[in-house]
Structure 1
């Protein structure tokens, strides 16, 4: 299990580097409207880097990727950029709230109106990051956006969600379940945010897996595949109790298509390498 934890350290729940990305980077004490207004005035998109001081992948991006001439030029020519510390700055906290950000760094790509084009998380190589930027630009030109609204208002969210963010503590499942059962559709933005932001499990795991393609299309692959990792970690514990690695592999194969080949190799190896069969083996030994 230690190997898996190392691989996914950038995606721990509520884990929360501070130089400019380039000359256009805005200090986060400016209002969100000012950022959007500048994007409108300059006919550019918006790039947001959600980070916190002490985050190793964030520091690695700062050192190895943002200074790259190709990256710096692409950002300068196509984006108004905002770098915000999610622990210290209000706009960073609000953006994490809205997009249920649970791993850092997280990158938001949006148009001047605040429509989300894409969301990505974790360290990206120069080539990977350039590809993200290019895809964001192309999709914006095609008018392809995610389902998120452009409004950021705490009043839209239930009190238990805001409290969980503030206290960095998950609420009882019964509280989350009661709220979700009252919603007319779990495919809407707020219920989706609640499910992934608070790691709603039980029946919501099956529902989420069944609707992977819909959620990926509506809210972005990154948010979805991070939540799937949470589900796999939960399910792994259940299958370990009965030493049922075959059914666990079947579950993994259901969600495999959402990951790149590189991602899947990393996560699959980590999940299966330390599959704990010791309990079942010990029980058999006792019987003998």
Structure 2
């Protein structure tokens, strides 16, 4: 009885704690939410989320329950959550919203999560935010422009659609629309801005192009093929080619691998198609994507020769971080000695001229898994000693495991 009584006494305090955060409406339809906002003269804050989205869960569990968030939102907004994916665990409320949720996702091109939409008290959309924040204060800072017509995204977009074309306005709106994953509007605004430019390859324009160009169909995609030196001076060495290879992989490789029946003939066909239009990039794209395909599948028999072949052909272009990723994945998931020996070589290449403690740590762990205990401890100590005292705990724990013959994987 005492335990039950204690729980009953605790529940009101729990409810009070929850009430201090952002209040989200439940049991209301979209029409009723809009009616409530109009009657109370409040904006509508809509959290568009999916059940699988980690940042969405972080916002719901960590940011929205905070008193600081509640103090800002509750007197200004009618807030509502809208689930945009479907699961077999969806409750009655989610199912009742399904038609409206699908229409909202389509009308406002919601493709990244979380996306937060803000509507004026009369129900018309005024603002859009993509992505959360690590603190309530930081998120509130991102939401405040939704209350200012001079900063509201859709209000500025409306001005564009009515003919506003001054250069500074177009540049800012083009950048914003790209950052907000509003693809259709981003393409229109970016095109309007770039058509007004005599020189497309200024540093500011190159950075905008790097965000805006996502397809071979883009009018400005050829710039990344033909002006790579100028682009690299702004974005960094190799960035123009990296942009091209990413786009080509998305359009030529990814669709071809969307099957369980990938054979050597599949890779030959991909390379053939790429060679006809983009011969400079074909072999490298296929070689690189073989690595990541076999890595994703855990196909270590094919993974090892794929990495070795790529290093042999394009060694100078392989980033240390990629080599480390390949080596560490093998360390964690493969026990085959030949594969571990190959990973050891990749790992050693990753810190040549670098001596990063994190990269050396991978090398030491591979040595240990291969049974070369003394060498492993020596290298792990070298990595640890390169760090300040405050950052050595994990490395020291690994050394102790090695000394005691315990697995580090």
TM-score where L is the length of structure 1: 0.49
Structure with greater helix share of residues: 2
TM-score by length of 2: 0.37
Q: Based on CA coordinates, which of the two structures has the bigger radius of gyration?
A: 2
**Bigger RCO (CA 8 Å, 6+ sep):** 1
